[in-house]
Structure formats: structure tokens, C-alpha cells
Amino acid sequence: MHTVDDLSADYEERVYAGVLGKIIGVYLGRPFEGWTYERIMRELGEVTGYVNDRLDLPFNNHLLVVTDDDISGTLVFPRVLDDLAAGEPLDPQAVGRTWLNELIPGRTVLWWGGLGNSTEHTAYLRLRSGVPAPRSGSAELNGRVVAEQVGAQIFCEGFAMTCPADPAGAADLVQRAASVSHDGEALQAARMVGAMVASAFVAADVETMLDEGLSQVQPGCLIADVISDVRRWAERGDWHETRARIDKRYGYHRYGGNCHVVPNHAVVIAAIAHSGGDFGRAMTVVNTCGWDTDSNAGDVGSVMGVFAGLAGLTSSVDYRGPLADRLYLPTAAAGGVITDAAQEALRLAAHGRIRAGRQPLVPKDGARFHFTFPGSVQGFQIEEGDGFGGAAQVPGADGRGRLRIAVDRPGSLDVVTPTFIPPEARDMPGYGLMASPTLYPGQTVRAVVDVPEDAAALTAQLVIKVSDVGCLDDALQRATGPATTLSPGTRTELSWTVPDLGGQPVTFVGLAVESSSGAGELLLDRLDWSGQPTVSFSRPARGGLMWQRAWVDAVTRVAHVDEPFRLIQDAGLGLLIQGTRDWRDYRVSADVTPHLAEAAGLGARVQGMERGYVLELIGRDRVRLLRRWHGETELAITSYGWEYGTTYQLTLEVDGSGVRGWVDDRLVADIVDDDTRLGNGAVALTVRDGRTATTMVSVRPVEHAITRT
């Protein structure tokens, strides 16, 4: 068995290529998902690149990027690895807990097609009702047709990328994860795809990957027959003939459900077998074959991305450029929704190195934007002003991973990346994009920039763009830090603390660059921010709507009419969440007015639907502090008479292991919690079985550490 130790230093880069390959494949196939081969050939011909413009769909740089379940599940479900202790094996129950924590029913990640219609939705409902994994995905409970749909192989590649050069380990890991929702032949298909991804890190050719994959499939099963048949047909050399044979023997007409795994797995194998190792060729075959084009192309893209590497992604067509690395992963982890391919690749690769007993790679002191991977722009794009022209790229000859900003005439430009829902993503197809910003007032942004010795002097300053115009279209306004003149041959750190923004969310961050000479070059080495926020959330004086969407909505209904925040939860606990996992020690306060509610309260260090601290008024006669970690532990409770329609000021302070809670000026909880799993997270308004209202939520750093003897 190979391990990450057998690989060259390009392990992280190949994971990045695999993540990009997944994204490219999904966005290539998405516009004609469900089309037949005949229709594709008639209306599009052989697919050799993005076709959005031909189908009157958005295609203008980052407009290609939308929410998609095939991408989200692949990169969200491996977050379970973050929760495992060193050496702890992954089991289906742990993956099921991640589903319950990350997913907001009907609103994130999955295709919510209903019980018995959507395999993943069916499994989720089983989990919610208390059925443990893997029974939640079993054919015994859900029937073979539901259990053998295509999703197991769609969502497996992220896990497999943590097992480089270990096909057996990848196949086993993938099967445990996929058994939450699938069974039977679907699990065998996932084993095949996962093993091919792992093999792709070291395989010399595609035949080796296919051999390694097949070695991890149960002999004599239907998927094994599919693989053998398709490979034999592919030896004849014409992929159109292979596709016709697949349709005749394994086509949709032979299998039930919406997207059965067997026909689609056959297409995945055909594309890889006919690719000759070429990424673009594989994309053409898998997309032109039809059926579940986006998920099939995503599978092939992951395998071939790892195999071909970054150079293979642009050998024939620039598949990377339109993406700009951007990613949306909508979940209950509010501040982790707006991300990029480089960040997600490093997260996966870190688990691969930990699995091998190695230390994860942490580029540039852990900076959020580091541009380490060749060609990576991490969502940054140019917005011109004053007739300025330029370009942003990472030059291959640089070797130090810096974003190049070239100036070719006098003027100014902004080079920015999203920190919140950008304008083009406000109206998404399918489920809308819910997200919290990643950057907040009170936090300090830092950027390191270089000016080459042979370049002209420039002026640069940090810039943010904020939804704030006092009208409904939420046009963006600029705010900038101090301007600094940058001399040739110098390295400079720019620093700026984001000011109060009146409750409006930060949508972009980056650099504003100005040239008076008409030529120059600036290299952005890194950009990051730190510190706890100092921010208040309410209805902004200047109006707009995006301040509402900065809250991730996990309640039955939220309204912003009379009160800025009116929460209604029909049953159980509902949360309205804002913030990021970077928040650690802070004090959150909110006025809470319960109306016909079993409980109303406030959360801190919230890490999803089932994790965080909650201080709540409950039962009209008590106040209590809870630790929520896939269940609720009562940390403190005291008598406190409260009334419907009366407003109470709740405050929750988290500082290291210390947790304190107040109602108005009364200290009602003061404990030390030795459970270290809740060391960070967002804030939330909470309600159980009813309605509550709030006008203002404020978050401040803890001024003095909690000390106890």
C-alpha cells in the first residue's frame, strides 16, 4: 500500500486539481442535465467546452458559479473528518451526525425531492426520525430502487482524496460514508470511483486506475460486470459505439428511479476508458453521452483532475478561468458558505497528511488567501475604474505564489474577492444561496504586497464593498483603508480595521490600486484578517435587503416587518445564525420578546444545527444554559419568572472554557465547560415551538478574561 509519504510535494496541488476537476465537470454538464445522447448531438454536438452561452444561461466569468448539490455534498460531508480524534476510525454514525448538523431541510446541499423519490432526502428523514446509519440508507428499509440511485458515487471523491495512493483505504472510507444514504450496487460504484481517485495520484495510465478500482469492487456484482463490459467495448476504440452498447444493455429503460447508478456508472467508466489520459477528451465523452451529465462529469473530473494535474485542466480548453476558484457550499455552518477551491483542497489534503501521520501543509502562516497553487486566484477579479486597464493572474514563472496585478495606463482599479453573496449570486436557481459574511467590522485585514524592482511606484489601499444604498437593489458602496505609496523593490504590509457599517454586510474585500505613471506591477502575496468582531445587527438606517440574508435561516419562518427579527418555529428548536467558525471569545447580547413560545433565547459558538451553547428562557418560569452537541446537556438552570410580550435582555459570554449568561442584569449562569469541542463558532437567535422577536443583536470582544479559582 502506498501512502502520502510516497508522493512528491505536489500532493496538495493534485488535490486542488481534483477539486477543480469536480467543479468543472459539474458546471460543464449542468445546463443539459437529463438530456439524452440524441438530443445533445442534435442541439449541441460533441461537448468540447461550456455551452451556457448557447443555451442563454449565465456565462460571464464568475456568473457560471451557482449552488449545486453535486459539489456541495462532495465537499461538505468530509467535514466529519474534522470531528474525529487522532486515529479514530470513521463510522457511518459519525457521517450521519454531520448530515444532521450541516443540512437545513429543504434549503441546503441536497436535492430535496421527498421521501421515496430523493434517496438522500429519504435517508435524511430516516436520520431525523432516529434511525441510525447505515440502516438509514439500507435497501431493507428503503427498497433497492431508492438505495441504488447515483448519489453514493457523486459524493465520494472528497473522502477519497484523503487517501492518496491507497485505493483499498479509499474504497472502504467511501463505503462507510456512502452507506448513510445508499446500499447495494450504489456502494460498489462508489468504491470504484473512490479507488480510482486514490490511484490517480500515482497511476501511470488510466488502465492502471481502472484495474485498481475494479480490484476494490465485489467480484460477481452487477457493477463489476458493467465495468468489465464497458472496458471490453472501449478497446474497439469508438466511444459512440460504446455508448450505444451501454444504452442497450444498461440503459435507463432497465432501471427504476430518477437516476439509477448502473447506467450512469457505465458512462463514467466509458469516459475514463476512452480518454487516453486526456482531461478534455474525458469531458467530451462523459458529457455527450447524456443522462445525469453534471454528476457523471463531476466524477470523471475528479478522477482525471487528480490524474492529469493542473496542466491537464487547460491543455485544450481553459476550463479554469471562468470559475476563478469560486465556490458556494450552503450549509448551517453560516460563515463557511463563501469559499474557494484552494481553501477546500487544503482542508482535504490536511486530512490526507494527518491520516499518514504527517503534519498538514499550512501556506504563509495560514493566510486565508495565499495563492500557493499555480494559477490560483481564489476568487479575486478586477473591477475597473477611471478607464483603467489591467490583468490579475499568478504568473507561472513567479514561483512564489503571488497574485499579479498589472497596470498599463493611469487610473485606478479594485481587485476583490467575495466575502458574502455577490450581486450575481443573489437569485440562484434551485434553492437560494444562504450565507453569512466571512469578514466583519472590528476585524483587522492585513495584506502583504510586493513591487518588483523594475516596476513603477504605485498607491494601494485595502478596500471593502458593502451593501448600503438606502434602496432595495442593494448596490455596493466602497470603503477604503489608508493609502500607501509602494516603491519599487519593496515588500509592504497593509493593515486596516473594518469600521462600523451600520449593520450592512461586507460583500467583497481586496486591494484598490492606483497608478499615476501609466505602468506598473503589484504582487499580492497574501491577504487575511483576524480578531473578534465588534458589530451590531438590526435594520440598517439606510435600508436594503441584504442585511436580512446575512442570517442563515433554520426556522420555519422569519419575518422583518414590525420587528427587525421575528422568528416562528412550528415544532422543535429553530435557529437564525450569523457569524463564522473563526469567532472564539466574545459577548453576544440581544433583546428577546417571547410570544407564545415554549422557549426563546440566544446562541454562541454555534457550529451548525446541533452544536453550540444556548441561553434560553423556557417554560415561563426558568432560564437555562445548554451545551448542544448532537443532544442537549443542561449546564445550568435557575428559576426565573417571565411573561409573554415582555422584553428581556439576554447576554451570553464565552471566554476560553468559561461560559456566563445574564438575563437583564442578573447573572444566571457561570460555569467552566471542559468540553473543548465548542471552542469557536457563530451566534444565533433561537426559538422553540412558537414565536419570538428581537430588535438588536450585538457582538463584542471579551474585554477581560474570565478568571476563577
* Architecture category of domain 364-533 in CATH: Sandwich (2.60)
What angle is formed at CA 134 by the lines to CA 129 and CA 137, rounded to 5 degrees? 70
DSSP letter at 119?
H
- Average pLDDT (154-165) is 97
Query: Mean pLDDT score of the chain, rounded to an integer?
Result: 92
CA distance 107 to 414: 33
| Cell (9 digits) for 91 | 463510522
What is the DSSP code (8-state) at residue 606?
A: E
Looking at residue 149, its amino acid is Q
> In the structure grid, which three cell numbers stand for residue 356, read together?
499518514
Q: Render pLDDT for 241-288 as a digit per residue (tens, 0 to 9).
A: 999 999 999 999 999 899 999 999 999 999 999 999 999 999 999 999
Asked, colleague to colleague, whether 364-533 and 551-701 share their fold, the answer is yes
The answer for residues whose C-beta is within 8 angstroms of residue 294's C-beta and 6 or more apart is 25, 26, 27, 28, 29, 30, 33, 68, 70
Q: Categorize the per-residue pLDDT at 560 as very low, low, confident or very high, splitting at 50, 70 and 90.
A: confident
Percent residues over pLDDT 70 in the chain? 94
User: 347-375: per-residue pLDDT in tens?
Assistant: 999 999 999 989 999 999 999 999 999 99
217-228 average pLDDT score? 98
189-193, 216-220, 492-496, 557-561: segment of lowest average pLDDT: 557-561
User: What are the grid coordinates assigned to 500, written together?
Assistant: 462600523
pLDDT in the model for residue 704: 57
Class of domain 15-328: mainly alpha
Q: What is the pLDDT of residue 62?
A: 44
3-state class (DSSP) for residue 21? helix
Q: What is the CA radius of gyration of the chain?
A: 26
E strands, 539-681, are: 552-554, 557-559, 565-578, 586-595, 599-606, 611-618, 622-629, 632-639, 648-655, 658-663, 666-672
**Beta-carbon contacts of residue 230 (< 8 Å; ≥ 6 apart):** 242, 246, 266, 269, 270, 273
Closest residue by Cα to residue 552 from 378, 699, 434: 434
**Lowest pLDDT segment from 289-298, 345-354, 515-524, 666-675:** 515-524
**Residues written for the chain:** 709
Q: How far apart are CA 207 and CA 188, in angstroms?
A: 19
In whole angstroms, give the CA distance from residue 230 to residue 270. Answer: 6
Three cell numbers, residue 694: 428581537
Maximum alpha-carbon separation in the chain: 80
Domain ranges across the chain: 15-328, 364-533, 551-701
Beta partners for residue 557, in sequence order: 568
> Is 61's pLDDT higher than 50?
no
pLDDT surpasses 50 at 663: yes
Task: Tell me if the bond preceding 505 is cis, omega within 30° of 0.
Answer: no
The mean pLDDT value for 294-322 works out to 93
pLDDT tens sequence across 113-138? 999 999 999 999 999 999 999 999 99
Write the pLDDT tens digit of every residue in 4-19.
Answer: 555 557 999 999 999 9
- The pTM (predicted TM-score) of the whole model is 0.95
CATH architecture of the domain 551-701 equals Sandwich (2.60)
Render pLDDT for 404-449 as a digit per residue (tens, 0 to 9): 888 777 778 899 999 999 988 888 877 788 999 999 999 999 999 9
- First and final C-alpha spacing in the chain: 52
Residue burial 258-286, b: 16+ Cβ < 10 Å; e: rest: bbbbbbbbbbbbbbbbbbebbbbbbbbbb
Instruction: Name residue 624's amino acid.
Output: R
